[in-house]
Amino acid sequence: MRTTRLNIAVIGTGNRGSKYITLLRQEGVAISAIADADISRARSMAAAIGCPAFPSAEAMLEAGIRPDAAIIATPERAHAHDAIMLLNAGCHLLIEKPIAATMAECTLLADTAAGSGLVVGVCHVLRYHPYFQKLHSLATDGSLGSIVSITHRIDVGIDRACHTFVRGPWGDTAATSPMLLSKCCHDTDLLVWLTGSRATSVAGTGGKRFFTPDNAPCGSSTRCISCGAERECPYSAVDLYQRRGEWTAGFESEESIAEQLRTGRYGHCVYHCGSTAVDRQAALINFESGAIATLTMNLFTATDCRDTHICLTGGTIHGNGTSITVTPLRGEAATYDFSHCADAPFHAGADRMLLLDFIEAVATGRPMTASISSALESHRICFAADIGR
């Protein structure tokens, strides 16, 4: 177990925040406070740790608690306010992606971080994932020459899409952020990392087309539980949460699932949710290095994975999420197996490596691999891709 005198506050106790709390405790790092707008949830987590709980980062600071560092895992529209307030209080920061919900806020945060002398990292976990680290190493070690083009595809998966981006909070992009930014800013970061350069131009296309009332099946209802077409519908909430028991971690019990199906947002028909999120998006990016890249985000897939095809002057590299195949223009192909990482917890250890990089950066003063300055370009690409049209 790792021990350190560093004390960290965790701001936001949702999916990501709770994972960082688990990892901090495993690493023996002192948690000085927990803050969340859901104060009952914050108090429950804080009681198990033995630290105070607050309804906000602001309330924590007003109480006189000044942690050495803080992890910001609140909804992205709160990131800029909380981050600047904590930077002014002298806290090193690890910010969950995306950095913020507008490019102006992202730039303001990056500029404030640069002037503060504090460590500010962004949770771009792909940079720490063993599969993507190998992909990056193979593509940049020079053995196959230089990168000419990259074709990168993100299969969001229909279950994740319906739960998070149609029925869930990220279906309301005005209250959260555009889908390409919230889901794929670390994919655009992967492209920046691979090419080692900035984008010179970005063209985007896509939008919202399918999940509208006009496309609802004949005889369907506004709620899955009372819908005559539910048994045949691939987007059924009843099938997702009750029959298959998928995406239920955020529900407290079977009774709460049943109540959501009857009256909650997660029981709505996907065609009648009023989601403003895009249901497909693509971007074409030209880089200063001379490489070009296409990024395509798909919702209508049974799988939830990433596929990357890299063409270099001396061969190709293809990764499908579980294996990487290197095929030189001359010579034998080689395959690297990462199937053991596919379902490994905490992003196959990447969450832990990210957290440890942050802790070491704070201790030594060196920049993080995923610093806010490195992350800014990925966000600029997302905003330039005409998100949310």
Bridge partners (DSSP) of residue 328 are 315
| 165 touches 314 (CB < 8 A) | no
Distance set, CA 334 to CA 153, 276, 328 (Å): 22, 43, 9
Predicted pLDDT at 26: 94
Q: Could you tell me which residues come within 8 angstroms of residue 242 by beta carbon, excluding any fewer than 6 positions away?
A: 257, 258, 261
pLDDT in tens, the chain (389 residues): 344 589 999 999 988 999 999 999 999 999 999 999 999 999 999 999 999 999 999 999 999 999 999 999 999 999 999 999 999 999 999 999 999 999 999 999 999 999 999 999 999 999 999 999 999 999 999 999 999 999 999 999 999 999 999 999 999 998 898 899 999 999 999 999 999 999 999 999 998 889 999 999 988 899 999 999 999 999 999 999 999 999 998 898 999 999 999 999 999 999 999 999 999 999 999 999 999 999 999 999 998 999 999 999 999 999 999 999 999 999 999 999 999 987 788 899 999 999 999 999 999 989 899 999 999 999 999 999 975 54
In the numeric block, the tokens 């230089």 are attached to: 146
Q: Could you tell me which residues come within 8 angstroms of residue 70 by beta carbon, excluding any fewer than 6 positions away?
A: 8, 9, 10, 11, 57, 86, 91, 92, 93, 94
The Cα 259–Cα 264 span in angstroms is: 7
The Cα 312–Cα 18 span in angstroms is: 40
Q: Using alpha carbons, select from 145, 188, 138, 124 the residue that is nearest to residue 324.
A: 138
How is residue 139 written in tokens? 């593509």
- Gap between the terminal Cα atoms of the chain: 48
The Cα 299–Cα 73 span in angstroms is: 25
How is residue 203 written in tokens? 């063209």
